[in-house]
Amino acid sequence: MSDGLRGAASDLRAEADSLDAKDELAAKRKEFALDDTVYLDGNSLGALPAHVPARLAEVMTHEWGKLRIRSWDESGWWTAPERIGDRIAPLVGAAPGQIVVGDSTSVNVFKALVAAVRMARGGNPADPGHSDEGRDEIVVDATTFPTDGYIAQSAARLTGCRLIPVAPADVPGVVGARTAAVLLNHADYRTGRLHDLPGLTATIKAAGALAVWDLCHTAGALPVGLDAHGVDLAVGCTYKYLNGGPGSPAYIYVREGLQDRFDSPLPGWNSHAEPFGMRPEFEAADGALRGRVGTPDILSMLALEAALDVWDGVRVDTVRAKSLALTDFFLRCVETYVPEGRVESLTPAAHAERGSQVALRCDGAGEVMKRLVEQGVVGDFRAPDVLRFGFTPLYVSFADAERAARVLARTLA
C-alpha cells in the first residue's frame, strides 16, 4: 500500500468510526448472533436474531411437546399465517388484513399470477364461467430471478396466455389491452437496481392489467409503499432482510379491494370459509386468508415471528437512509482502495435506482469471492462474473463496509 493510500485508508477508517458512532441503528447489531465476520450476504440469508433459538425451543418443548394438538388453538398456531402477515405489513407499507405468510416465494408467485389473470379477465369466484379471454398475455421481467420466470411460464401455459419477457424499463411499451398481468421484481437480484414501483404500477393499471411485484430484495431494506402506490398483488421471501431463517415461509399480499375476486389456483382447506366444516365443496374465506393453502409450517413460521421482533421501534425510513449511506460509503472505499479497472459497479449510482446491495463485475469473481470468504468477508458470487455485497442496515456497520473494500483490494492486488 502506498503512503498516499495508507493515508486515505486511515481517513476512511476514521470516517467509518464516526459514522458508526452517529448511527441510530447501531444498537440493533447486538440483537443478532454475529462474530467478527463481515457478513454482507444478508440479501441471501439474514443473520440469526439472537433470541430466536430460545423462542423456538419453547415452541418445541412446551407447545408441541406438552400441549401437542391443543396448540393449534391454545398457542395460536392456526392463525399464525395472518398474524405474522400483519407483522410484515407495516414494513412494506400495507394496512393489516392483506398479507398471509406461508409456502415458498415460487408457490406464491403462482397463486398471484393465476389469480391476477383471472381477475384481469373479469373473473369472479362466484361465477367462474365468466371471462374476458381477450387478455391473454403475461408480461414478466426478463432480468428476473429465474424462478419467477419459470413459474410465470407455467401460469401462462395453464391459463392460455402468452409470456412476454421484457426489461422492466420496456414495460410501458408492451402493456396494453391484451395484457392480463405484469410480474416485476422491485430490485434486480443481480445488479441491485431498484425499479420504479410507483410509476410502473400506474402504467400497468392504466392498461387495465394487474401489477404483481416480487419484494424479495426490498422488503426490510427500504420503503415499498404497497398501499400508497396501489399495487395489486405482491409476494416476497422472509429470509433475506427479514431474517426469518433458512427457507422461512414467504408471503402474499392481496390488495383489499381485490380480495373478494381473488380466485386462487391452490384452494386448500386453510383458505376455506369454514376449514373444520370438512365440506366437500370449496367456499373461499373472506380476505387475505384466500392466500392460504395447506397446514402452515409452524416451526419455521414461529421462528420468523420471533425474528420480526428486531423491527420493534425501527422506522423503515431510517433503515433506508442507513442503507444508502452504507452503499455510498462502500462504493467510495472500493474506488479508493481497488486499483482502477479491476472492478466495475453494476449498481446504479442514483439513489432512486439503488436497492440495498452493491454488485461488482470482476474477472474471476467466483475465485475472488472464495478468497474473500476465507478472509472473513462474506458476500456471494453470481455467474458469470458478479460479486454481490448485501448491506443489511440492522447489523452491518460502516466499519464492516470499509473492511470489506480493504480486503477486496488486497485480494485483487
Q: Which residues are catalytic?
A: 145, 214, 239-240, 388
CB closer to its own copies, 269 vs 361: 269
Q: CB of residue 262 vs its own copies: minimum separation in angstroms?
A: 13
Instruction: For residue 10, report the phi and psi dihedrals to the nearest 5 degrees.
Output: -60, -40
Contact 334, 377 (CB under 8 A): no
User: Least distance (Å) from its own copies to the CB of residue 366?
Assistant: 11
What's at 73, amino acid-wise?
Answer: D
Alpha carbons 213 and 285: distance in angstroms, whole number: 23
CB of 299 to its own copies, least distance (A): 5
End-to-end CA, the chain: 10
| Dihedral class, residue 249 (left if φ above 0, else alpha if ψ from -120 to 50, else beta) | beta
Q: Quick one: 35 or 312, whose CB is closer to its own copies? A: 35
Distance CA(284)–CA(43), nearest Å, equals 35
Nearest alpha carbon to residue 390 among 184, 148, 243, 217: 217
C-alpha span between 316 and 68 (Å, rounded): 37
Nearest distance from C-beta of residue 274 to its own copies, angstroms = 10
* Closest distance to its own copies from the beta carbon of 229 (Å): 26
Nearer to its own copies by Cβ, of 207 and 302: the residue is 302
In the complex with its own copies, which residue's Cβ is closer, 89 or 117?
Answer: 117
Q: Which of 199, 204, 172, 217 is nearest to 354 (CA)?
A: 217
**What SS3 class is residue 350?**
coil
Rg of the chain's alpha carbons, rounded to an integer?
A: 22
Coil, helix or strand at residue 247 = coil
The nearer residue to its own copies, 153 or 375, going by C-beta atoms, is 153
For 256-301, give the secondary structure using H, E and C. HHHHHHCCCCCCCHHHECCHHHCCCCCCECCHHHHHCCCCCCHHHH
Task: Please identify, using beta-carbon distances, which residue of 55 and 332 lies nearer to its own copies.
Answer: 55
The single residue listed with the C-alpha cell 420503503 is 223
Residue nearer to its own copies on the CB measure, 144 or 201: 144
Closest of 209, 202, 182, 203 to residue 120, by C-alpha: 209
Q: In sequence order, what are the residues at sequence separation of 6 or more whose Cβ sits closer than 8 angstroms to the Cβ of residue 258? A: 119, 210, 232, 233
CB of 195 to its own copies, least distance (A): 17
Is residue 144 a contact partner of residue 185, using CB atoms and an 8 Å limit?
yes
> In angstroms, what is the minimal distance from the CB of 217 to its own copies?
14
